[in-house]
Amino acid sequence: MSAEIAIPYNDTERPDTGLYNAKLGVWLFLASEVMLFGALFSSYILLRVASDRWEHGADILNVPLATLNTVVLIASSVTMVLSWAALKAHNFARYRRCMGLTFLAGVIFLIVKYIEYSGKLGHGLVPATSTFMAIYFTMTGLHALHVIGGMIVNGYLLGPGAKMWQTEPRRFTNRVEVAGLYWHFVDLVWIFLFPTLYLLPGKGM
């Protein structure tokens, strides 16, 4: 007979940190993500300061599309919180609606980004065009990959992963909260990317 082994602090807070295991783990993971994007933003600053000429993002990038994507991601953060709040209120149907809207927002973001990328590539603007375009494709491309990663997790929690609600509702609620922390981080990165790449004026042009 095999006895079930319970891993402590899966759905309760650890006494040493005040966090349950998954929440502690995601904060450590997000710390590494901060270092990754921090290095990219630092590289952007160094390259911009050292350059005599720097494009104005608004002259070559699609600011209206980027503004739309900003609104979409901010709205998705709201629906992500509402999906977690619905589980706390034991309203699973509302959770499905809110998480579905969050996933849909991710799809819209990627479609808009595809339209934007297609426009740049169609006009011959590629990473090799300039330092600015290289930074643009690197940082927004990496961010888009993070959006896709978040959508995979949210899609799982919306689909097959939702079965846990029937057996371990508290642990499932924690999983949604952890996914939300990651999703908010992805949104926050974009809030920094948008003004940095699209709105800051150029120099020496």
Report the alpha-carbon distance of residue 196 to residue 166 in Å, rounded.
45
pLDDT of residue 205: 55
Read off the pLDDT of residues 121-174 as tens digits, 9 standing for 90 and up.
999 999 999 999 999 999 999 999 999 999 999 999 999 999 999 999 999 999
pLDDT band at 3, cuts 50/70/90?
low
Euclidean distance between CA atoms 120 and 65, whole angstroms: 13
Q: Residue 181: is its pLDDT beyond 90?
A: yes
Tens digits of residue pLDDT in 31-75: 999 999 999 999 999 999 988 888 888 889 999 999 999 999 999
Higher pLDDT, 201 or 108: 108
d(CA 71, CA 78): 11
pLDDT bin (cut points 50, 70, 90) of residue 77 is very high
Q: According to the model, what pLDDT value does residue 143 have? A: 97
What pLDDT shows up at residue 200? 87
For helices 63-88 and 169-193, angle between their N-to-C axes, nearest 10 degrees: 160
Q: pTM for the complete prediction?
A: 0.91
Separation of alpha carbons 167 and 182, rounded Å: 24
pLDDT category of residue 5 using cuts at 50, 70 and 90: low
Domain boundaries, the chain: 21-50+63-199
Q: Angle, nearest 10°, between helix axes 21-50 and 131-158?
A: 170
What letter would DSSP give residue 12? S
**Which amino acid would we find at residue 172?**
F
CA angle 27, 32, 33 (to 5 degrees): 90
Rounded CA separation 113/171 (Å): 34
The answer to whether domain 21-50+63-199 has CATH 3.40.50.300 is no
pLDDT above 70 coverage of the chain, percent: 96
Digit-coded pLDDT (tens) for 84-107? 999 999 999 999 999 999 999 999
Instruction: Give me the pLDDT at residue 97, please.
Output: 97
